[in-house]
Chain A
């Protein structure tokens, strides 16, 4: 049964693959059938294939086109969503997956061989709001945020909100909550944060890429949530930092674990990642210990198989893949800032390096 489900996703993946490679390239992709997964991952086509997080897509597009200029390597990335990326990696239809959340236990157990996570960039989720009469930047504490999203704080002039916004004249408008309706890594980071700071949230709602929201309206994608916020007076919702900056939407300062109110920015996200990172890099940056770190941020990972010799892949392909990822976490980081992604912290880069060195081909390390 699991196989059937996977096949279905597989079929979707193939459709997406055909759609993205287009009719121009009549290489391996088009002729692949749902059950025969080897052809697309190790076909005669030279391009590496990746799939996953849509959050990473703008950065990846830039990085891959720059890398192509120096190395001539083509990378075909399909931004189908983190979950779909992981299932395509599980089916071995892609060379690498990209995800905004590390693989969970169930996803791990579906794998036939161990996979490794390499952090490639970091992003943040910001709280944008629509209060036309409030000129100052709103400051939110974790308790207040959880209260708003649980539906216990319903008016903007609630004393709890006023407590962290002294001197700001808050209207008596009702709070309208906007959340993502589609499953997404953004929701995952946001609900993980809420679950960490509020026991109520953790027991009533929990965390995941789709949760049962106690209150609020759902919008599809960042643009859907942003649309709801822009249109509805009194609305508050969460969107990606990059999206908020590009669309010049107002966003709140969040109080972090150290008690400081932090403006979300590329610098404060990088700062959030400058903590002790476990050797497998599977860490959530939410509610970071860093004193100047923005608390609702998270890594995005590239996921590959630890043993690269599978499906009769040539060793050359594995080397190209590992070199590409190594370039992404070093030289590739220079393109982050311009696209409003947070560059990796030094701690993250060194962990990423040591993880990449553990990738093998036939048991031999690929990177020396």
Chain B
């Protein structure tokens, strides 16, 4: 890598560079210059390579997780087959494993949570992004919303069990379903609170990025604030808002601790949204440590594989929808 200057020619391993004026000072100056530009090129290469390696590591990680899940769930796939997916009975004593109740519980609680959370996260995003982007009160609200994401999920679980569940039980008493309090509905409420920050933060920054000439033009045409939001801001940011919602759905699908504390943990198929149920993540967390038979353990890992695939499929569908929005 060293450069040398001899007879008016500066050489570095491969490239010969001719220096026209070959007084010692100019040679050394040129030498320095060349060295510096080589160093810059080198830095550039190293940086690019680092980025590539980092990217590759991420891909290898995801593929590795997928591969591990597949290999470890082979015994259960072999002995249970595809029936595993729609089997309704989960009986570790007799080695009968069906993931359907948990698949249903996961999807039901997550989508319900999403439906509950969307109005709140949209409202927060519009409030912070459009109405009051600056000031102490919006700052406080912004931090509060972000704090929601920082609270450990076990805290939500305890809070849910102690505060939310009795309220839900009262509600159930009024509408005449079995008043147990815990169940899909309670876990959806907890999940809804937990996922608000994801959609709200992304939505807020998206809304702040709407070019002001667009909005000013709309105002110039006599639009009211509501009309500007409805026909300029929201259409402009819809792919970003949707990405935020997708992010929060991913969070809801994988949440374990808070859900397991308020969902009731039964392997029965939920009859309605107030009935107790269970999710895939919570079953894994509950039963993994005491899974004392190879097939049992493998069935739990297959549950993880199914959860992984469900998340992938939902993300792919989401990406398609975002693409359609942006191509319009």
Contacts and interface: CB of A to CB of B under 8 A. Distances in A.
A183 B287 contact: yes
Given A1-B294, A220-B260, A228-B182, A208 B93 contact: yes
Contact of B286 (A80, A104, A207, A218): A218
B93 A207 contact: yes
B292 A86 contact: yes
Contact of A212 (B93, B180, B265, B298): B93
A104 B93 CA distance: 12
A181 B286 contact: yes
Contacts of A86: 292
A4 interface: yes
A227 B290 contact: no
B260 A212 contact: no
Interface stretch (B8-16, B49-57, B69-77, B229-237): B69-77
Interface in A97-117: 104, 106-107
B161 interface: yes
B254 interface: no
B92 interface: yes
B178 A206 contact: no
Given A205-B93, A219-B265, A182 B292 contact: no
Interface in B162-181: 162, 165-166, 169, 178, 180-181
A210 B92 CA distance: 6
A219 B286 CA distance: 10
Contact of A218 (B162, B266, B292, B297): B266
A213 B297 contact: no
Contacts of B102: none
B261 interface: yes
A296 B316 CA distance: 52
Contact of B264 (A1, A81, A208, A218): A218
A84 B289 contact: yes
Contacts of A212: 89-94, 96, 267
A215 B265 CA distance: 11
A19 to B, nearest CB: 14
A146 to B, nearest CB: 16
B105 interface: no
19 contacts: A1-B75, A5-B75, A8-B297, A80-B289, A81-B290, A84-B290, A181-B265, A181-B278, A183-B286, A209-B290, A210-B290, A210-B291, A212-B96, A216-B266, A218-B276, A219-B261, A224-B261, A231-B161, A231-B165
Interface of B: 71-72, 74-75, 89-94, 96, 161-162, 165-166, 169, 178, 180-182, 260-261, 264-267, 276, 278, 282, 285-287, 289-294, 297-298, 301
Interface of A: 1-2, 4-5, 8-9, 80-84, 86-87, 104, 106-107, 174, 176, 181-184, 205-213, 215-220, 224, 227-228, 231-232
